[in-house]
Every structure is written in structure tokens, then in C-alpha cells.
Structure 1
Amino acid sequence: MEISNNSEDQQAMASRKYIHWQDEGVEKIPPNEAEDIQAVADMINTIQKAQYNMHRHCYSGTHARTQGIVKGMLIIEDDLPKHLKQSMFAHAGQYPVVCRYSSEPGDPGLDDRIPQPRGFAMKVFNVPGEMFDPTKTAQDIEFNSTPALDLADAKTTREIVDLRIKYGNNQPELYKRLEARPDTDLQKFRDSVRNTHLESTRQYSQTAYRFGDYVAKYCLVPNSETQRKLYEETVKPDAHPSDILHQWLKNFHEAHDAEYLLQFQLCENLHDQPVEYAGKVWDPEKYPWQTVARLVVPKQDSFNYELKTFWEDHMRVDPWLGLKTMQPLGSPNRLRRVVYPASSKLRRIMNGRKEINVTSMDQIP
């Protein structure tokens, strides 16, 4: 369910009782979480080293395959209701953005014909407000094409990444162990996702974030008729090449403008909408998505080789370097606060590259 910003809908949604981000129970850190997180950081580095041995280049531990990178504008209108005027959305504005489409696994050579979750990352420039790191002035926003996160908390992540390292090349053995788990459906879902055109794919934050005074998840919804029609275009393994998603994306952006709606789903019930466990979808019928901004992407070349290399070798996307009023919440995000810097550090060392603090679109090829 999605709510428009007409006055009747706004009044109904404004009257609902939303969880404050500092309310009791929003975050509960379990025992031994720090140990689990460090173990995951070490395992992600192990995955990166294994990929380096194959490609002689070090990539991120997840979302290693770049499908395309585009530039656009995030537009916030002045007609938002009061409960949505939060954080960077408190005032109307237009902010330059650079966005990367990706495939989620850590293998940069992953065949597009293999169904897997897809990712989308957005770096938003010139955003006003207090940052976690005052030297980082961009807001990073991350998405994944599945609404629930299989790596639902630090303990689960440690268990699943360990299984993938041991049995990732032997699916029958991996499935035997996944089927012994209570969350087997969640863990196996990634292998059966709908493999469709990236431009038609809805993207989700999966985890919860502070949203000004409140707690929310967010999503990105393709909004042009051209994008929506592409949803029926699915990958056919016997008819398409191994880089079909990249080809489709490049062909689309050369011929069409794109538009997405950025929507937030506010937390009202911590039992129905857990923050610590990201493996549960927040019911959109009970807790509707509400639009806060539009992402507009004009026609362009979505696969500039220089920009791709710059992003992969020098840029870092990390919402923990963003606004304090957009603070990542819950176990998976506390994990990211350790794993992301560790992954980035190893990449720079192994590739002989330096991280560049990108604060302006002018720094990007």
C-alpha cells in the first residue's frame, strides 16, 4: 500500500502514533554481538582475498559487480506533511546524486543469468545537517532488491557467511545445511528472486534507520511508464548473454529519462516492525509507504569506464558517514559500522589505491 500526499491521506497518516527513534526497545544489543561482528569482518576479508586470487583485483565483499553508474537529482518538494518533514527532507531542495546499480554477491564476474538480489547505492551531495564525520558531507543511501535481509542480524550473518565460504561452490551441500535452519525459506529466497530489468526493479533499505524524530525503512520505486513496462522483461538463460543486465541498463539510459519515488515506511509497532532483526518484512498494508522525494535521472551513458573505475577503486559508500538524523539502526547496521571500513581498507591496500573523500559531483569523472 502506498499513500499519496493529498490532504485526506496526509491527515490520516499524520494522526498515527509513530515510534520515536530513542524509545525504549528500538535497539537491544545482544551479548557477544561484538565478537560476531568482528568474525564477519574477518570472513568478508577472506572472501575479498579469494576474489583477488581469481581476478588479481580486490573488490568489495558484497555488491562487487557494477552494472551501471548514473548521475541525477534528488528533488524534495515543499508540500510534505509535518510528520514527513524530517532530517534532510525537512525543507524543499534539489540535491545532485550519483547512483550505482550492482549485483549483490561478492563475485564481480557473476553471470547476470543467475538469479540473485540486485543493489542500488546513492550518494547525495550538498545535504545540510550534522554529519557523523564532519569531513564527510554527502549522505549515502543503500538499497537491495529484496525487502527482507537474509543476513538479518550479526549472529545470523556470522553463521550464513561461514556456510557460504565453506559450501558456496556446492549448492546441494549448502542447501542441506540451510534446510536444517528455522529460517531456511529466508536463506534460500535469494536464489529464486525474479531476474528482471534493473530499471524496473523496486529497491529496499531492508534495515531500519533514524528518520529525524522517528524510525523508518525506505524504498525506491520506478515511476515512469517506460520503467514499469520493463518489469515484464525477464532474463532467459538460454537466450541472453552473461552481461544482459548491464546491456539492458545501458540501452535504457541512452534512450530514456528515468524517475523514481523515494518512499519511507514509518515504524509504529516494534513487534510487527522489528529493528534488531531485518529478516521480517514490515507489512505495507498495515504500515504504508509514503513518498518524500523524487530521483530524476536524465539520458546518459550508464557505463562510463573511467567513472566505474573511480567508484570501485576510490569511493566509499557508507551511511554511517552520513547525517546523524539518518542514523543506521539495529544489529545489521551496527555490523556494517565495522565491516564496511574493514572491507574498504583491504581494497585500498591490495589494489594500491587511496580512498578519496568525495564531497562534490565535480570530483567525479
Structure 2
Amino acid sequence: MSIPHPIRFSPDLESIQEDEQKTISGLNDQFDIIMRTTSEDYGRAVRSVHAKAHGIIEGELTIAADLPQELKQGLFSVPATHKVYIRLSTNAGDVLPDAISLPRGFAMKVLDVTGPRLPGADGSTQDFIMVNGPVFQAPNAAKFLSGLKLLAKTTDRMEGTKTVMSSVLQTVNKGLEAVGVSSPTIQSLGGAPNVDPLGETYFSVTPFRYGNYIAKFKLRPMSRDLTKRTGATINRRLGDDAIRETVRAEMQETKAVWEFQVQLCRDLEKQPIEDPTVEWSEEDAPFVTVATVTAMQQDSWDEANVRKVDEEMRFSVWTGLDAHRPLGNINRARREPYLHSAEFRRRFNGCPMHEPTQ
């Protein structure tokens, strides 16, 4: 069976809703509730989502040579090696003990990127933000706002209850997976498997412009040091920071290599732009490797890097090249809240955000 040609990008492929700005204002309000609560408790402001980091890793992104023309787009147009900063996290807006199992996040900032930039995207970097699941938990920003209101009400409350709930939900999630059902909702509430983030595969979940085309992204573990940890669970007996301690110990002896892959949209009905709860089938639209990400052995909780990356940087899908413009309702709704969250952190902590140059 031949694979259709990729769909050409056009701005009119997006379907902008009339009430999007109202929804965005609601998201800002809920993020304010989360951040006010956590900043008062911790004495410092943390991110409104993915507040807890488990590792800060330096590495390199190497773009493949001799890519076919349809893959030589944007950042990936020219073979090159770029320094990257990686932040491993879990998705809650409060800093929870690691007994509460949540989906993993992988945020990567690529340095020394050239080309026309997105509006308001300062610096010369390109951010990629991924999670260890192929779909988003809500079909649109309005539905996401409904779920966020629930999370805002439970932020930093009854952590002991959350731990018990997480254990129950993990059992429920395993039962669903045994019959071929995956529930992003259950996973986001604490039912995700408590896996080692170094062994996970990460997805952009939402679509992006890919130069002349449209794509989703995937980061897949490639080196043996990573693949041997795929499916491995974290020993919660190590304490509230068990994930961080595990990653730190492993990165002392790990050569980490991931494949950075692109999945081009080839059928707008099978691979919709506006609904990120729909997984794009790899049979209809295969992932293809366009680069590798390599990180050598290092201290993944080095104090200077933690301050530089975790405290003084922000990650946003709207930081980067216009050639990789975020697409779809969820992505459009991420722009203002990301800025809003970073501005809250800047004001409360008295520390401006920086786009790195080295």
C-alpha cells in the first residue's frame, strides 16, 4: 500500500473558535489559583504545570544528513549539531512526593537556531515539549479548562489522600491496559505507571507546522543504556524525590541517545489538526528519524544547571521558528498561559527568564 503525499501547510487548515479568548482567560485564572497556592506554601513560585523537575541534562541534537526533501524543513533543513538543555518532569502543578505517579514530561531547548521566529519568541532557541503518551487528555481547550478547575481545587491539598488515590488508580489503569484500553484521564489523575523517565518514549501530542508540511514529533530511546530501562519502575522507597535520585544515579553511567522522529500529516480526516485526543496511526503516517539527541554521562542535578535551567528558563511550544508554528486549538490556548505563568514566576521570584546562548 502506497503512502499518500504529505498535506501542504496552509493557515486556513486551522479552525479557530469564537470563544477561544474567553477560554484562555479562564485558563489564566485557574493557573493563578494553582500558582498562588503553591508559591505561598513553598515561598517561591513554581511552574503551573510540570512543576517538579527530576533531571536537568545537557546534550546535543544532531540533524541527519541526506534527508529527503519533504523532511528537510525548518530547523532540520541543514545538517548541524546544536547544544540542547533537557528538563525531565512530571505534570502536576504542585511539587508532590514521587509515590504519586503521574505522566512524565520531556522539555528540550535547542540552541543556536536561525530563521524567522514566531511572534514574541525572543532569542535563538527552539523548544520541543513532549510527554510519554501519544494523545492529549482533552479534545479542546474548553474541555481542558474543565479538568484544570478540578486540579486547581486539589492543588497542595491532602497529599496523603492523593498518594492513596494514586495507588488505586495505578491498579485501575493496569486493568484497563490489560484489555487494550489506555486512559489519559486516569493517568493524569495519578494512575500512570511509575516508570523510569530515561526509558520512556515521548510525543509532542499536538501538531506543528513542519516547514511546508504539518507534523507531530516523537523522541524514542535508542541506546542500550536507555532501552534497558524501558518499562522499569521507580523504587518509591528511595523517598519523596525517588525519581530524581534514580535519574541522577543512572546518568552517572549512562550514554543516552534518542531518535528524534517526525510524523507527517497525510490525511486530515485520519490525522486531524484540531483534536489531539486522536492518535495518528503510524500505519497511515509513519514516523521517520530526522535527528539524534545525545547526552553523555553527567550529574543530572548539578546545582548550577538546576539554577540556570529550572529556575531561570521557561519552556514553551511558542518559543522557536515560525517554520514550527504550533497548530490546533490546544496549542493556540497554550501561548498566553505559558507567558502568564512565566511572568508570575518572574515577579514572585524576582528572577527574569533567560533564553540561553550557550
TM range (shorter): 0.7 to 0.9
1:314 to 309, 312, 317: 312
Q: Which segments of 5 or more consecutive residues in structure 2 lack a partner in the other structure? A: 170-181
* TM superposition shift of 1:286: 2.2
- The CA distance in 1 between the partners of 2:51 and 2:154, in whole Å, is 20
Shift of 1:236: 4.7
Contact kept? 2:121, 2:318, Cα under 8 Å: no
Deviation at 1:264, TM superposition (A): 0.9
Q: CA deviation at 1:76?
A: 0.9
Does the CA-based 8 Å contact 1:100-1:122 persist in structure 2? yes
Q: CA deviation at 1:135?
A: 4.0
Work out the CA distance in 2 between the residues paired with 1:45 and 1:290: 39
Contact 2:186 2:192 in 1 (8 A): no
- Aligned residues of 2:35 and 2:46 also touching (Cα < 8 A): yes
Rounded to whole Å, the distance in 2 between the matches of 1:135 and 1:328 is 16
Structure 2 CA distance for aligned equivalents of residues 256 and 122 of structure 1? 18
Hey, what's the Cα distance between the residues in 1 that align with 2:146 and 2:102? Answer: 20
How much does 1:287 deviate?
A: 1.6
Percent identity at matched positions?
28
Name which of structure 1's ranges 282-291 and 254-263 shifts more when overlaid on structure 2: 282-291
Matched ranges for 1:62-141 at <5 A: 62-108=49-95, 110-132=96-118, 133=120, 135-141=122-128
Aligned match of 2:38 = 51
Contact 1:113 1:235 in 2 (8 A): no
Q: TM-score normalized by structure 1? A: 0.86
Q: Tell whether the 8 Å contact from 1:113 to 1:240 is kept in structure 2 after alignment.
A: no
Q: What is aligned with 1:262?
A: 260
- Partner SS for 2:31: helix
1:314 Cα offset (Å): 1.9
Confirm or deny that 1:339 pairs with 2:337: yes
CA distance in 1, matches of 2:304, 2:17: 43
Provide closer, same or farther for how the CA distance between residues 23 and 345 of structure 1 changes in structure 2, counting only shifts above 3 A: closer
- What does residue 229 of structure 1 align with? 228
1:253 corresponds to: 251
Judge conservation of contact 2:31–2:152 (CA < 8 Å) in 1: no
Residues 56 and 310, structure 2, Cα contact 8 Å, conserved in 1: no
Residue 175 of structure 2 aligns with which residue? none
Tell me if 1:142 matches 2:129.
yes
Counterpart mapping for 1:263-302 below 5 A? 263-302=261-300
In the TM superposition, residue 23 of structure 1 has moved relative to its aligned partner by: 6.6
Moved more, 239-248 or 118-127: 239-248
CA shift at 1:267, angstroms?
Answer: 0.8
For the pair 1:40 / 2:53, whether they are aligned, the reply is no
1:19 corresponds in structure 2 to 7
Number of the residue aligned with 2:139: 152
Distance 1:46 1:257, change over 3 A: same
What is the match of residue 179 of structure 1? none
Q: Which amino acid aligns with 2:215?
A: A
Change (3 A) 1:23 1:352: closer
Q: Take 2:219 and 2:100, find their aligned partners in 1: how far apart are those partners?
A: 23
* Equivalent residue pairs, number: 335
Structure 1: segments with no counterpart, 5+ residues: 1-8, 176-183
State the Cα RMSD in Å: 2.1
Q: Distance in 2 between matches of 1:230 and 1:167?
A: 32
